[in-house]
Amino acid sequence: MSDHADPLPKDTSWRVPLPVTPPQARQEVEVLGLTFRSPVIPAAGPNVRDGAALARVAENGAGGLLAKTVSVRAAPVPRPNMAQFGRAGMLNTELWTELSLDQWLDREYDVGLAAARAAGIPFIASVGYTADELELVAPKVAAKGVDALEFSIHYVGTSFDAVVDTARALRSVVDLPIIAKLSPHFGDLGELAAVLEPHVDAFTCINSFGPTLAIDIERAEPVLGSRYGYGWLSGEPLRPLAVRSVFEVARRVKKPVIGVGGVSRGEDVIEFLMAGASLVGICTQAIYEGPQVYERVAVEAAHWLDRHGRQSFADVQGAYVRRFGQGQRVLTEKEEAPRLDSALCIGCTRCGVVCQYDAMHAEPWKTPTLVEERCFQCGLCVSACPAGALSFSPRAGRTVAEAA
């Protein structure tokens, strides 16, 4: 090969293109007295590892900035510390920032804040972890001029008292909006949020989930570099757990919630907002796709509003909480079978494959047939249909409130 041969072109086929047409719906949201240019912001991680990364996030349309967590010392991050899991999930042994607090105070915050001010968006700093550490770190970070502080409960034990003590310590040393980032290992996060509510101004749900373990079976070795190969799950597989956590908190407290976990599309933003979130954070998808993800997802979400005749994100925020905050009527007997829109059916046979009750019969390129008396109303064929050709009609008295 010639020394002057052209390099191989980079494969960018995995990138998701930005929507071409500007949305009509208003993208700005007001949270904690701050104006975000969209509800889509970064979540703390390698995507916001330093000032330069924060600047790229701001330049690529994020609604606001949130920096990687700082503490009294740099994190001893194991190597390797990230591994792809499934299509869009991740296992990681990521900790807080591997940079020193002094480096953040001397340089990284200045670069990130300059980018935030140039873009006209808020800047949230993340600090950790114990009460003693927060009392030392938080005032120094607040003095840089950040707009709010997030603190994580990930390493402060599992008792509510320890979490409340940490929040009180932070409140005693700063006069800024305080956001508590909750971890799923606490169980019902609504109960925890209710206890924390007097001491904080908002919540983030959720941190990554674990510990987990993945093994390279060709070598019988862990894929991550922690002592036993344990890591934490983030990305797409985490989203249903994260949405549930946001809902638990939003139905118990009145303060804003930032939803984090598995956001990769505009529709995911809408789901989190309906569950009660006011902002939505992205980390894993930003690692896989790059900083353009923030603008793309925000624009996709705004286009969803356009298609559904909504003027702003406020029009959908909390919609699910209002409808199902007290639960829904539970069916244990079949009321109806799925309905098929043959005009939408693409003859893929997916419904016949997934049906476990021999109720749906499907042949390639033909309209499937349904044996209604065999249908269990499990719903899997409806959710698995790639064309949206199957559905259940709305049933009366769906929510507990409606049934009453």
HEC readout, 77-128: CCCCCEEEECCCEEEECCCCCCCCHHHHHHHHHHHHHHHHHHHCCCEEEEEC
Distance CA 91, CA 94 (A): 9
Chain-centroid distance, C-alpha 88: 13
DSSP secondary structure string, 311-378? SBGGGTTTHHHHHHTT-BPPP-S-----EE-TTT-----HHHHH-SSS-EE--TTS--EE-GGG----
Q: What angle do CA 191, 195, 199 make, to 5 degrees?
A: 140
- Whether the domain at 29-324 and the domain at 339-403 fall into the same CATH topology: no
Domain range summary for the chain, segments of one domain joined by + = 29-324, 339-403
CB 71 within 8 A of CB 128: yes
Q: Indicate the CATH number for domain 339-403.
A: 3.30.70.20
Could you tell me what percent of the chain has a pLDDT over 70? 94
Q: What is the pLDDT of residues 235-286, one digit of tens each?
A: 999 999 999 999 999 999 999 999 999 999 999 999 999 999 999 999 999 9
Q: Which pLDDT band, with edges at 50, 70 and 90, does 156 fall under?
A: confident
> What is the per-residue pLDDT for 15?
62
Residue 160 has pLDDT above 80, yes or no: yes
Q: What is the pLDDT of residues 387-401, one digit of tens each?
A: 999 998 766 667 765
Instruction: Spell out the long-range contacts of 219-223 with Cβ–Cβ below 8 A and sequence spacing 24 or more.
Output: 223/80, 223/83, 223/91
CATH architecture of the domain 29-324 equals Alpha-Beta Barrel (3.20)
Q: Prior bond to 211 cis, omega within 30?
A: yes
> What is the per-residue pLDDT for 2?
39
List beta partners, residue 259: 205, 280
Residue 183 has pLDDT above 50, yes or no: yes
Residue 300 has pLDDT above 80, yes or no: yes
Distance CA 323, CA 318 (A): 9
Q: Which pLDDT band, with edges at 50, 70 and 90, does 402 fall under?
A: low
Distance CA 130, CA 160 (A): 13
**Between 159 and 234, where is the model more confident?**
234
Q: Prior bond to 80 cis, omega within 30?
A: yes
Could you tell me what percent of the chain has a pLDDT over 90? 86
What's this model's pTM, rounded to 2 decimal places? 0.92
Mean pLDDT of the chain: 93
Structure tokens at 289: 């796709």
Distance CA 275, CA 325 (A): 9
Distance CA 386, CA 348 (A): 9
CB 203 within 8 A of CB 260: no
Q: What is the pLDDT of residues 89-126, one digit of tens each?
A: 999 999 999 999 999 999 999 999 999 999 999 999 99
> What is the per-residue pLDDT for 187?
82
Q: What is the pLDDT of residues 203-223, one digit of tens each?
A: 999 999 999 999 999 999 999
CB 261 within 8 A of CB 305: no
Distance CA 376, CA 360 (A): 11
Q: Which pLDDT band, with edges at 50, 70 and 90, does 186 fall under?
A: confident
Distance CA 316, CA 313 (A): 6
> What is the per-residue pLDDT for 1?
36
Q: What is the pLDDT of residues 335-371, one digit of tens each?
A: 888 999 999 999 999 999 999 999 999 999 999 999 9
From residue 20, alpha-carbon distances to 16, 196, 238, 295, 300 in Å are: 12, 43, 30, 12, 10
Structure tokens at 354: 């997934």
CB-hemisphere CA count at 13 Å for 307?
Answer: 10
